[in-house]
């Protein structure tokens, strides 16, 4: 269960495709003065009638940045990621994603914005009736791409995360670490502008965690903004270039 390549860079073909997309995004950003990918203004969140889980959150996630989101279990890391993903509405304050105010979006617009975000869920959320390959290819399929145009790309990425031999089997047969890598590959395949990963190294040993971190750093270097929720201090210490968004006492503290 090791990654095929020790570190290396993203496959060349993907990098070229990414650079072109990045150029388009940069132009789009200039055209619309888009600025930050995500902006929170005085955001508060409570579940139902419960106490405020998050309070007074004001921060931005800028293009091409790397941040760890940290804090003890129950601090609100998953809740914060769900707010960014527009899966939860703030109970007060404002959230904008890709320059759009969250409360002004209809369902189709939310779906469109979410496609620009890659997500690694804590519980993976692989579809059990699709093979590993089909799961990873899904974000491209829902964009209307023909299989012939992405088969090599998907196979290459699966090999890169060490699942080359496992790509035609169903997720229930994969180990926890393999599911995690499949979920990571699915989040990366469409070259998202923003990647959110919820404890993505929670199910693997420290050596594999380091390799997966390198994969995220590589993605970041190719232009994606990355947010990794983790309480693994050792992991965070392996990448000095990252901001730390620290949740505690329902508030957010930022270490630049
Ligand atoms: N769906 C929910 N309904 C009610 N309370 C929730 C729900 N999800 C999370 N919480 C509560 O919100 C707080 C933050 O949870 P969470 O965002 O999962 O923290 P973390 O991911 O940092 O462990 C916890 O007190 C948790 O019990
Ligand atoms: Mg969580």
Helix/strand/coil for 113: helix
Q: Compute and round to an integer the Cα radius of gyration of the chain.
A: 18
Atom of ligand 1 nearest to the CA of 80: 17
Ligand 1 is surrounded, with C-beta below 6 A, by: 47, 50, 53, 71, 73-79
Provide the CATH number for the domain around residue 126.
3.40.50.300
Output the tens digit of pLDDT for each of the chain's 256 residues: 333 333 445 555 555 555 545 544 544 444 344 599 999 999 999 999 999 999 999 999 999 999 999 999 999 999 999 999 999 999 999 999 999 999 999 999 999 999 999 999 999 999 999 999 999 999 999 999 999 999 999 999 999 888 999 999 999 999 988 999 999 999 999 989 999 999 998 878 888 888 889 889 989 999 999 999 998 888 999 998 899 999 999 999 998 8
What's the pTM value of the predicted model, to 2 decimals? 0.86
Cβ within 8 Å of residue 22, ≥6 positions away: 222, 223
Residue 121 within any structural domain of the chain: yes
For 97, the 3-state DSSP assignment is strand
189 close to 137: Cβ distance less than 8 angstroms: yes
Q: Whose CA is nearest to atom 25 of ligand 1?
A: 74
Residue 3 domain flag: no
Does residue 139 belong to any structural domain of this protein? yes
Q: Residue 19 belongs to what domain range?
A: 12-96+104-255
Ligand 1, pocket-test mutation among 44, 48, 50, 53, most atoms within 8 A of CB: 53
Q: Is residue 181 part of a domain?
A: yes
Q: Which of 79, 66, 187 is nearest to 124 (CA)?
A: 187
Phi, psi of 230 (to 5 degrees): -160, 150
Structural domain total, the chain: 1
Q: Is 104 exposed, middle or buried (0-12, 13-18, 19+ CB in 10 A)?
A: exposed
Residue 71 lies in a domain: yes
Is 7 a member of any domain? no
CA diameter of the chain: 51
How far apart are the C-alpha atoms of 212 and 129, rounded to whole Å? Answer: 26
């Amino acid at each position: 269960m090791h990654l095929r390549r020790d570190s290396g860079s993203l496959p060349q073909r993907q990098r070229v495709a990414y650079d072109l997309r990045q150029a388009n995004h940069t132009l789009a950003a200039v055209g619309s003065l888009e600025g930050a990918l995500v902006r929170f203004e005085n955001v508060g969140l409570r579940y139902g009638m419960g106490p405020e889980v998050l309070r007074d959150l004001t921060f931005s996630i800028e293009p091409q940045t790397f941040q760890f989101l940290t804090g003890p279990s129950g601090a609100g890391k998953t809740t914060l990621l769900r707010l960014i993903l527009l899966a939860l509405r703030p109970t007060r304050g404002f959230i904008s994603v890709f320059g759009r105010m969250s409360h002004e979006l209809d369902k189709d617009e939310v779906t469109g914005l979410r496609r620009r975000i890659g997500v690694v869920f804590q519980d993976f959320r692989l579809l059990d009736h699709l093979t590993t390959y089909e799961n990873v290819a899904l974000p491209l399929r829902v964009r209307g791409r023909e299989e012939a145009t992405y088969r090599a790309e998907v196979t290459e990425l699966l090999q890169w995360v060490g699942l080359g031999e496992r790509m035609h089997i169903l997720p229930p047969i994969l180990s926890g670490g393999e599911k995690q890598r499949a979920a990571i590959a699915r989040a990366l395949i469409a070259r998202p502008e923003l990647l959110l990963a919820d404890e993505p190294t929670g199910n693997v040993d420290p050596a594999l965690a380091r390799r997966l971190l390198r994969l995220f750093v590589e993605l970041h270097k190719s232009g994606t903004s990355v947010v990794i929720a983790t309480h693994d201090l050792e992991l965070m210490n392996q990448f000095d270039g990252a901001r730390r968004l620290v949740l505690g006492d329902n508030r957010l503290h930022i270490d630049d």
